[in-house]
Structure 1
């Protein structure tokens, strides 16, 4: 047949081979289920930093030198804690906690070990046991703010976790999840109940919430989405088709990632939801276009009529679907320019996901749309006539008042830019959890009773193996520790506790002619003190610091920066020794969001360039490519600017919103311009073509955004605050993209008359 286009042949081929395609797709889904279910979440907070990041390098070096500082605090009310019976109870509970899997029992700290240390039998032990009661005030002062409160009403056990190993399971025996579950069970069963906190457990709870809520609430979202689709399309078949397309695309994507050796991260944990957006938006265009073509055929229920409508639907939409998915994929693949491995992996995952949506749409939809011959055509939604009237009126009204609309757009752009400049970064990791969550209640208790729950350090150059510690060096350490205790930021002390090796040497009456003699004595009843603070082989010493987790981002950064500056002034380093450096999980969590945001600036630029190139390639028009950019980018600016003006800080859930939104707002853009060009080829004027595109594609875009926004409302049920933000902001970005496509595209394209 002459005069048939490639799109016509694609439509014919999909209609003719719909059953084999459906069977092949079903078989591939069945084969992909097992590897898809094996895909795991990477739970390392360090993975959210670039490999060469200096803060990550300092943290890894400290772990090598001092064995890692992943501590868990277990605190409870204990009146009169120095009484013998209290010390017995503390020791018994500390022993129980130390037996939890994944805990290093030799490093457990508790008040009984301070006041009743284990000593080797002998004369020295007898003497020391007699001396310790005389030293009790000094020993309690050392322990204050760590394992006993200033009012002597609260005590804590500090548990040091064993270092994680490569291949350590995420769940089950030998996992951190098992460690924390055991500790929390013991704490809950203690009388009175104890509170459990610490950076490692915060990180664990964050990943648990991301994984559990992301999985469970995704299915809740699908249920809500299905209900809204049923209301809008009034066809059970056309509710099941987009859900089938989405689930198939997700299974294929997850299986591909697992077989490629990739893992999900906190950044990419919302993969399912994002693939859902791309899939539902794509199938909605197919559903409404199929319905329109069926109505043109007289609404007959004959098989020929449905096949013809299906064939023509894909003849018209195959190219826009391809370019929409390809442009989405390129938008996400631009994240490969990022420095952070999880961000690059996320871009690759979503690129694969967009491709999987394209394949699942073309392979599943034709067969599922015609199987059985009943309920094959979507019906009209209540009030759809009113929506159609508004959409048909839209382009004319927009172009009639084009100057006011253009000025309003310019003002919104200025508003967005000003709001973006007001953005603040959330560094209080506890703000990622709801106020009534277990971890926040524990942090509140510990920070109110004991002081800061945030543990970190500043490590310093120190004498090496052949250079014994001398008083002049210890004097410098002593002076720095005193300056840190006196350091104030914002009129308040920077630290709730400063622990240096000199504190013990100065407080406990040790006898010896040299520093080494006194350290050897110290090792007899406190063997953990020296190796936890001094590593002569690597020529480093550290001062351990405690700060409040729950403080403003500006103050937390100021404390870290001023501490490091002060330490480097006192210990600047030499040609053979690195200068002083502040590090720890507290520091990594503080700068985590900034690490993500730095990556987004470059990635967002590449995404915008990639989208422009794809739109130019799709429509072979530089002007249309330029016209498509503002509707895609303005909604993102409005979302970020709105955050800034509302005073809402950027957290893990919002740091990636720009890159995510770039990939999600492009779908309607492609379909709108394709429909406009199709009408222009049929001889319609510019404004008439815009009116028709507005009434057809605009309807599908509105339905898709309405359904998806309702579905994403399920994320507001999450216990993890960033997921709530993510759901709300993605919904806002989609609504903004819809407004941009329905207002700015006709404004830009129709500015000049034919």
Structure 2
């Protein structure tokens, strides 16, 4: 007994099995999770990520949030400062906040010819003092180069508070354990790594929950101060929290919008209630099953895979349209056939082409697995599983349901869309050389556009300008010294790590100070700090870089106290003794370590800088450190968010080329097997080259950089667009076997399967355009460019492909 007969002969049993499957798998919905943490955009095998984590342990937590405050009243006034004190105190009370750095904490130091360095250091005041010296504060913040565009904007109208978050030591321990296991030779290595990964996921879930509560608490506090001025919250935890909200909103909006579009399109196509309900029910139930399966496997949905439900619904609806159209055609041709015969024949005739279209789409999404970026890999895996579920469920559900229905109560009325497809056929038949010429022009432009592809996108542009994420990042970027960090770690020369002690040291400073000088390392000397300051100034003078923090920042403040004179080695030792511990940590210890033999310069890149190219910036800084500053490459390392993000972006090219190569190769092999002809397979590939080339070329020509979602467009569009080619050629071969006439066969193919291609393409295009309503720019571009590729795919199948078949005559 064939599979199709099994479906049509046992419809009630099939429904019982489907019901049991839905109930079982749907239970996994309880485990369905969204994940928008920065961890999802990391390359775990990236050595720069390991270095970044190691330096975080050495120099302190890099996990912080930023609050910007632009008061209605003058910022440097007694009333505003007192208000800031209350706000800072409230922020410190929030669970999860370790400390808050603000303009209240920094020393208010000005140059004075009447006081010695030690006297100025002994009388350091801050805005936290009971009596606030506003005139001194204005002098300091308007002239101090370290504070400007860091804690306070140059126009003295906006200030920023840095909220350092408590470190999750257990998470850090697990990450370090995993790195250790990677290099282990243990026989149980894989098992141990899997267990550590499981514990990491548990810890990440806990972190996500805590961060959500933290962001909510902070926003409630800021809301209480909203009457005082404009406040924005920024930082990784806030972006992750808001992005999850965006994903949740997108899932809801996309689902509703796609549903409405499908109802309208299906009603317009079939003009029958039952033919609207069946596809919608299929799409809804397969989406439910897919969500449950994702939950069962414990896979997390990210910003990349958030639209998988909409895509599966589109695929499911398209499949059902093909089945319904073929059923209607058979019902008109074979009026005497029973319902079961009609349904069985529909399933038999459509099984092979639909199976191959499903397989090509699976191959397209499976190709994403070669990426180094985990969200893209997960997207590919989720879609492969979803397509298998959609294909299997659709055939069983359609065949079982229709077997129970009375064919006389089902509309088999053929619409007049075949006249439209025949018009398209006439256009193709009457203008073959023009069509080929246009195709060649488009393909040539596509190649040129491909050469213009770039990955240099800005994280800030991932979000609409109306979102708090964009507003906060923009303010920090333009007024408070930049956003993404670029850290330069420089070691002392190996042979000069310990300087000579002062044997003739004047004892009047005390033995403790002499001891301090004796243990000073390479970098904490007057001459070497002066050299370090040249590197600091070089970085700060680069147009792509805003603020730079290093040990030189603290020394510059001390030099102001020293009447703008360079500090001697003795005064440097005195500086450490005189500074309060908290200020010493903020200005010195966070930027110099390892016995003063390693320093960190933390630059902040201006994300909104026009023409920003991270790859060129990183290369240029490395080259200048070697050539201008004569520092061997073995002595310095570049790390930070900018380096990690650049590595992610550079990997996108590899993902694009690799996935396209796999998709084209696998689909070509499938074409050969399906069509039993290499020549016909080559002809079938041409419209798909055109569709993929057009969309990639358009991305390049438009200057829109590749991102974590648009990089998947090529593979996805090829996998889905090739469905048109398979259905068209499969039907064409049947028609050609009857009359051996190329022109007549293409005409009949347009009049039959052409209708279904026309319908499904409209459905797919409108479905993907819904994604353009997202708050997340990569999702918007994904929707737009995938819609474009689907338009090009149907044009290629209904206009270019018949020309190629008629002119090249690939069937011998």
Q: Give the TM bin, normalised by the shorter chain.
A: 0.7 to 0.9
Alignment correspondent of 1:500: 550
Alignment correspondent of 2:162: 158
Secondary structure of 1:528's match?
helix
Secondary structure of 1:104's match?
strand
| Per-residue Cα deviation, 1:436-471 (whole angstroms, up to 9, x for no partner) | 222223334444443424444222224899773241
Q: Is the 8 A contact 1:463 1:469 kept in 2?
A: no
Secondary structure of 1:64's match?
helix
Note the 1:331-370 alignment, pairs <5 A.
Answer: 331-370=364-403
The answer on 1:612 being equivalent to 2:668 is: yes
Using the TM superposition, name which of 681-690 and 415-424 deviates more: 681-690
- Note the residue ranges of structure 1 that are not aligned, 5 or more in a row: 1-5, 118-123, 488-492
Alignment correspondent of 1:534: 592
- The TM-score normalised by the length of structure 2 is 0.82
Using the TM superposition, name which of 741-750 and 40-49 deviates more: 40-49
Taking the aligned partners of 2:252 and 2:408, their CA distance within structure 1 comes to 31
| Per-residue Cα deviation, 1:7-65 (whole angstroms, up to 9, x for no partner) | xx333222112222222122211211121342323334344344333543443333333
- The TM-score normalised by the length of structure 1 is 0.87
Secondary structure of 1:678's match?
helix
The answer on 1:482 being equivalent to 2:537 is: yes
Residue of 23, 28, 35 corresponding to 2:21? 28
Q: Is the 8 A contact 1:631 1:741 kept in 2?
A: yes
Cα gap change, 1:565/1:316 in structure 2, threshold over 3 Å: closer, same or farther?
same
Q: Is the 8 A contact 2:361 2:720 kept in 1?
A: yes
Secondary structure of 1:101's match?
coil
Deviation at residue 636 of structure 1 after TM alignment: 1.7
Using the TM superposition, name which of 279-288 and 707-716 deviates more: 707-716
Cα gap change, 1:595/1:550 in structure 2, threshold over 3 Å: closer, same or farther?
same
Q: Is the 8 A contact 2:7 2:399 kept in 1?
A: yes
Residue of 430, 438, 447 corresponding to 2:468? 438
Secondary structure of 1:112's match?
coil
Taking the aligned partners of 1:435 and 1:670, their CA distance within structure 2 comes to 42
Alignment correspondent of 1:148: 152
Residue of 438, 444, 447 corresponding to 1:417? 447
The answer on 1:675 being equivalent to 2:731 is: yes
| Per-residue Cα deviation, 1:307-366 (whole angstroms, up to 9, x for no partner) | 221111011111111111112112222233333333333222222222112211122111
Secondary structure of 1:142's match?
coil
Alignment correspondent of 2:601: 543
Taking the aligned partners of 2:346 and 2:616, their CA distance within structure 1 comes to 60
Secondary structure of 2:106's match?
helix
Alignment correspondent of 1:71: 64
Deviation at residue 675 of structure 1 after TM alignment: 1.3
Alignment correspondent of 2:86: 92
Note the 1:155-554 alignment, pairs <5 A.
Answer: 155-163=159-167, 165=171, 166=200, 167-168=202-203, 174-190=209-225, 191-198=228-235, 201-202=238-239, 204-298=241-335, 305-373=338-406, 377-378=410-411, 384-385=415-416, 387-395=417-425, 397-462=427-492, 468-470=520-522, 471=525, 472-487=527-542, 493-508=543-558, 509=561, 513=570, 515=572, 517-529=574-586, 530-536=588-594, 540-554=598-612
Taking the aligned partners of 1:655 and 1:569, their CA distance within structure 2 comes to 36
Deviation at residue 669 of structure 1 after TM alignment: 1.7
Using the TM superposition, name which of 11-20 and 468-477 deviates more: 468-477
Deviation at residue 648 of structure 1 after TM alignment: 3.3
| Per-residue Cα deviation, 1:574-611 (whole angstroms, up to 9, x for no partner) | 7xx95433332244445544332331111210111111
| Per-residue Cα deviation, 1:248-278 (whole angstroms, up to 9, x for no partner) | 3333333334333432333322211222232
Secondary structure of 1:148's match?
coil
Deviation at residue 235 of structure 1 after TM alignment: 2.2
Residue of 103, 111, 118 corresponding to 1:111? 103
Using the TM superposition, name which of 331-340 and 20-29 deviates more: 331-340
Q: Is the 8 A contact 2:254 2:310 kept in 1?
A: no
Taking the aligned partners of 1:249 and 1:29, their CA distance within structure 2 comes to 9
Taking the aligned partners of 2:739 and 2:597, their CA distance within structure 1 comes to 80
| Per-residue Cα deviation, 1:111-139 (whole angstroms, up to 9, x for no partner) | 1112489xxxxxx9999663437996567
Alignment correspondent of 1:722: 778
Secondary structure of 2:530's match?
helix
Secondary structure of 1:194's match?
strand
Alignment correspondent of 1:581: 637
Q: Is the 8 A contact 1:168 1:175 kept in 2?
A: no
Q: Figure out how many residues of one structure are paired with residues of the other and give that number.
A: 725
Deviation at residue 537 of structure 1 after TM alignment: 7.4
Secondary structure of 2:783's match?
helix
Secondary structure of 2:69's match?
strand
Taking the aligned partners of 1:600 and 1:475, their CA distance within structure 2 comes to 46
